[in-house]
Chains A and B, each alone.
Chain A
Amino acid sequence: GESVGLHLPTLSVQEGDNSIINCAYSNSASDYFIWYKQESGKGPQFIIDIRSNMDKRQGQRVTVLLNKTVKHLSLQIAATQPGDSAVYFCAESGGTSYGKLTFGQGTILTVHP
């Protein structure tokens, strides 16, 4: 889904489908990228990260793709489950901002049984 006005982007999928969440970043000097999952009432939880010397990294059911040319990051979740429903954030750091993560807007993922 696309964001409208001030609302967070949303993505609704059926259980078992694959999900793709996208993120654009603006800092060309960023060399570290990370995805977090935030469930209601909880803090952000680490999912997967990638450094700028790679363009793909895989975890358990998740894959992160990095396209530095167009400054785009994506998170792919295979066989999405209802427990994957949450807000997903991308974040970046690097250049002169070591130790500081700059977060993207967040995408609400809803998985329907």
Chain B
Amino acid sequence: DTAVSQTPKYLVTQMGNDKSIKCEQNLGHDTMYWYKQDSKKFLKIMFSYNNKELIINETVPNRFSPKSPDKAHLNLHINSLELGDSAVYFCASSPSLVTNEKLFFGSGTQLSVL
């Protein structure tokens, strides 16, 4: 069973469209994250949620709206897609926020905005 699964794997869309990426973890973790990896492979945190509550929002544009219906799911909705949004988006989870622990990553969603 995949620990952190995200869909879709690939997403190709036109500028101005709205799209969503879904993420689910079956590890029983309290904390989930979205990271963005740019074309230079740089990984940067976008959001973190702890038990459905937003903890970190790293000055991400309002066009990005995460939603956590329960602690096992963290979806990412993007409005009015722009060329610069093209990247690989990774979902991740960790046991809790209380102590620093390793993150478990999904396999990524490659978003291409044309």
Interface of A is mostly: strand
Instruction: Tell me the residues in window 34-69 of chain B with beta carbons closer than 8 Å to chain A beta carbons.
Output: 40-45, 48, 50, 55-56
Pairwise interchain contact A101-B103, C-beta atoms closer than 8 A: yes
The residues of A with any CB-CB pair to B shorter than 8 Å are 6, 8, 31-32, 34, 36, 38, 41-46, 49, 51, 87, 89, 91, 93-94, 98-103, 105-106
Q: Which residues of A contact B31 (CB under 8 A)?
A: 99
Q: Which residues of A contact B41 (CB under 8 A)?
A: 8, 38, 87, 105-106
Q: Which residue of A lies closest to B108 (CB)?
A: A43
| Selected contact of A105 from candidates B42, B56, B101, B103, CB within 8 Å | B42
The residues of B with any CB-CB pair to A shorter than 8 Å are 4, 31, 33, 40-45, 48, 50, 55-56, 90, 92, 94, 96-108
If A6-B40, A44-B105, A89-B43 touch, does A100 touch B56 (CB 8 Å cutoff)? yes
A6 nearest CB across to chain B (Å)? 6
Q: Which residues of B contact A93 (CB under 8 A)?
A: 100
Pairwise interchain contact A103-B100, C-beta atoms closer than 8 A: no
Q: Which residues of A contact B100 (CB under 8 A)?
A: 31-32, 51, 93-94, 98-99
Q: Which residues of A contact B33 (CB under 8 A)?
A: 99
Pairwise interchain contact B45-A101, C-beta atoms closer than 8 A: yes
Q: Which residues of A contact B94 (CB under 8 A)?
A: 99
B109 nearest CB across to chain A (Å)? 10
Pairwise interchain contact A98-B98, C-beta atoms closer than 8 A: yes
Pairwise interchain contact B105-A43, C-beta atoms closer than 8 A: yes
